[in-house]
Amino acid sequence: FWLVPTFKNRKLPPGPPTFPLVGNLVFVTKSSYGLKAILRQLWAQYGPIVTVHFGPRRMIFVSDRHLAHEALVQKGSVFADRPVPGVATRFVTSNQHNINSAPYGDLWRLLRRNLTSGVFHSARVRSFARGRERALRAAVDLMRSESEAGRSVDVLGVFRYALCSSLLVMDFGTLVEDEKIVREIEEEHRRLLLGFARFNVFSIFPSITKLVYKERWRELVEIRRRQEEMLLPLIRARKEIVLKKLEGGGKGEDGFEFSYVDSLLDLELPNEEGRRLTEGEIVTLCSELLNAGIDTIAGTLQWVFANLVKHPEIQEKLFAEIESSTWREITGENDDSAEFIPEEKLQGMEYLKAVVMETLRLHPPNHFLLPHAVKENVKIAGCVLPKGTIVNFAVSEMGLDENVWENPTEFKPERFLEINKDVDLTATREITMMPFGAGRRSCPGLGVAMLHLQYFTANLVRGFKWTAKQGTSEIDLSEKQEVGVVMKHPLEAVLVRRRISNQS
């Protein structure tokens, strides 16, 4: 498949020669994770920026952190666009009316700013603490009942449920109390994400592929119909609450002053004569929060606990930090009786943060960013990328650079306690790791994600001693691509209660 050299593209970064029209055949059939092994060979052969052809589309892949910084931060506005999406993406994003797929422009700016300053600023995030506590309690209850029955715990399944429950509170307040409905919503969203590789077939000649893959198209339409069926009643109920609030003043009936839906109701869309979002578009935006947050955080928590089981000494060190009197002294309270460590008391726990950071460095849930596109012709690494070129960046490689990280494949949270390892997760100054991306399109959920990761980790280490059915030495950290990159052999945890004192 490397027969015809790409002479006409010599200003592009180097890459394997390609068949005209079909590109490098081997790439067309691979998932992004499957691609990584091949890309590693290409980076070794051609350098840290390579061009690959997927059928008629060309893509640039970058593995070097300096080049990534130059593109995403220094030339951020040029690299901040997204590629024109295929039919399936357009269908489920209400024609690019969500944050991650919107082209770089006024609509994207409005939606992103609404999320970051309207919903994810610290006071608002604090106001959702009750939802996180409820989600944590649900996780603890599930774990407790499984371990008391002598069964090992399906860790990822529990975390997915808990995260869905917590993010639903951000979307809708406490409208979704029923465990069955939370599960249904979580499963339906995962069905869409898992199916996406298959739905991409509609990017090519859609009017033909929709006929050839009739059943598949029907499946996609059905998933979207189910999403609307589940979320529309919640959106309408939230509208009622907002109306009543306006009439009566103060909080909604559910005690939540605010939810993501509330913030979306009043938005006026730029370049569309200031029209409001349709109900379908609000479904899309609420779904985006679930799609973006559930599997990323749940998957990372699974990696945290797999590593804590594999390294019992790290787990004990973390438990010691949590148990140390420091956080109680700070408040002057006796928190021994508290069911959970409150979020605001996680601040001083440096080792906790180090464990989470080390997990994100070594096991970022996304090994690549979402694809970027360049807004205009741009020079990088001595090459010229024409306007519209699709570029992606290898997140997982950045965290393994031996020039930054000593023995990079080792799980060693202590590295983050060294004085000079004050890593900036937004990667603004430099990129040493970038699990959340960097620059304008970087993850707006960073703060919310870190809060969940630290809150769940601290409380679940305080509550249980973690071991595994498969035995400590047999914990296998091999990976597989699912919605994100997860454990190939899922962690089946065996938990012994340490305390959740007021429930004993």
359 interacts with ligand HEM by CB under 6 A: no
Beta carbon nearer to ligand HEM, 154 or 288 = 288
Kindly state the smallest distance separating residue 190's Cβ from ligand HEM, in Å. 15
The closest of 65, 59, 66 to 392, measured between CA atoms, is 59
298 interacts with ligand HEM by CB under 6 A: no
Kindly state the smallest distance separating residue 292's Cβ from ligand HEM, in Å. 3
The closest of 366, 362, 365, 357 to 454, measured between CA atoms, is 357
Kindly state the smallest distance separating residue 356's Cβ from ligand HEM, in Å. 9
The closest of 134, 162, 115 to 295, measured between CA atoms, is 162
292 interacts with ligand HEM by CB under 6 A: yes
Alpha-helix runs per DSSP H in 363-445: 395-398
441 interacts with ligand HEM by CB under 6 A: yes
Q: Which two tokens stand for residue 470?
A: 């498969």
Cα 164 from Cα 234, distance rounded (Å): 15
The closest of 428, 415, 310 to 354, measured between CA atoms, is 415
Name residues whose C-beta falls within 8 Å of residue 118's C-beta, 6 or more positions apart in sequence: 124, 263
370 interacts with ligand HEM by CB under 6 A: yes
Beta carbon nearer to ligand HEM, 360 or 500 = 360
Choose the stretch contacting ligand HEM; rule: CB under 6 A; options: 42-50, 130-138, 241-249, 436-444.
Answer: 436-444
First-to-last C-alpha distance (Å) of the chain: 65
The closest of 45, 72, 76, 68 to 404, measured between CA atoms, is 68
Kindly state the smallest distance separating residue 450's Cβ from ligand HEM, in Å. 8
Give 81's strand partners: 373
Name residues whose C-beta falls within 8 Å of residue 422's C-beta, 6 or more positions apart in sequence: none
Q: How many residues bind ligand HEM (CB under 6 A)?
A: 25
Choose the stretch contacting ligand HEM; rule: CB under 6 A; options: 83-91, 284-292, 304-312, 321-329.
Answer: 284-292
φ/ψ of 393, rounded to 5, equals -130, 135
443 interacts with ligand HEM by CB under 6 A: yes
Kindly state the smallest distance separating residue 125's Cβ from ligand HEM, in Å. 10
Helix 279-310 / helix 155-172 crossing angle, nearest 10 deg: 150
DSSP state at residue 373: E
Beta carbon nearer to ligand HEM, 135 or 201 = 135
Beta carbon nearer to ligand HEM, 24 or 96 = 96
Q: Which of 63, 100, 359, 454 binds ligand HEM (CB under 6 A)?
A: 100
Cα 293 from Cα 160, distance rounded (Å): 10
Q: Is 443 annotated as a binding residue?
A: yes
289 interacts with ligand HEM by CB under 6 A: yes
Build a one-symbol-per-residue string for 135-174: x at contacts with ligand HEM by CB under 6 A, - elsewhere. ----------------------------------------
Cα 500 from Cα 504, distance rounded (Å): 7
300 interacts with ligand HEM by CB under 6 A: yes
Choose the stretch contacting ligand HEM; rule: CB under 6 A; options: 58-66, 222-230, 288-296, 419-427.
Answer: 288-296
442 interacts with ligand HEM by CB under 6 A: yes
Q: Is 250 exposed, middle or buried (0-12, 13-18, 19+ CB in 10 A)?
A: exposed
467 interacts with ligand HEM by CB under 6 A: no
Amino acid type, 183? R
399 interacts with ligand HEM by CB under 6 A: no
407 Cα distance to chain centroid:
26
Kindly state the smallest distance separating residue 119's Cβ from ligand HEM, in Å. 9
Kindly state the smallest distance separating residue 272's Cβ from ligand HEM, in Å. 19
285 interacts with ligand HEM by CB under 6 A: no
The closest of 120, 43, 29 to 396, measured between CA atoms, is 43
Choose the stretch contacting ligand HEM; rule: CB under 6 A; options: 261-269, 417-425, 437-445, 469-477.
Answer: 437-445
Choose the stretch contacting ligand HEM; rule: CB under 6 A; options: 88-96, 134-142, 174-182, 445-453.
Answer: 445-453
Q: Is 337 exposed, middle or buried (0-12, 13-18, 19+ CB in 10 A)?
A: exposed
Q: Which of 39, 285, 357, 369 binds ligand HEM (CB under 6 A)?
A: 369
Taking CA atoms, 49 is separated from 74, 215, 364, 401, 441, in Å, by 17, 39, 21, 15, 20
Residues 40-59 close enough to bind ligand HEM by CB under 6 A: none
15 interacts with ligand HEM by CB under 6 A: no
Other CB atoms within 10 Å distance of the CB of residue 5: 11
Cα 496 from Cα 504, distance rounded (Å): 13
Amino acid type, 45? Q
Cα 474 from Cα 415, distance rounded (Å): 25
Residues 104-133 close enough to bind ligand HEM by CB under 6 A: 112
Q: Which of 161, 436, 455, 464 binds ligand HEM (CB under 6 A)?
A: 436
Choose the stretch contacting ligand HEM; rule: CB under 6 A; options: 10-18, 140-148, 305-313, 435-443.
Answer: 435-443
Choose the stretch contacting ligand HEM; rule: CB under 6 A; options: 208-216, 292-300, 335-343, 460-468.
Answer: 292-300
Handedness of CA 481, 486, 491, 495 (dihedral sign): negative
Cα 32 from Cα 19, distance rounded (Å): 21
Binding site for ligand HEM (CB under 6 A): 99-100, 112, 288-289, 292-293, 296-297, 300, 364-366, 369-370, 435-437, 441-445, 448-449
Annotated binding site for heme: 443
Annotated binding site: 443
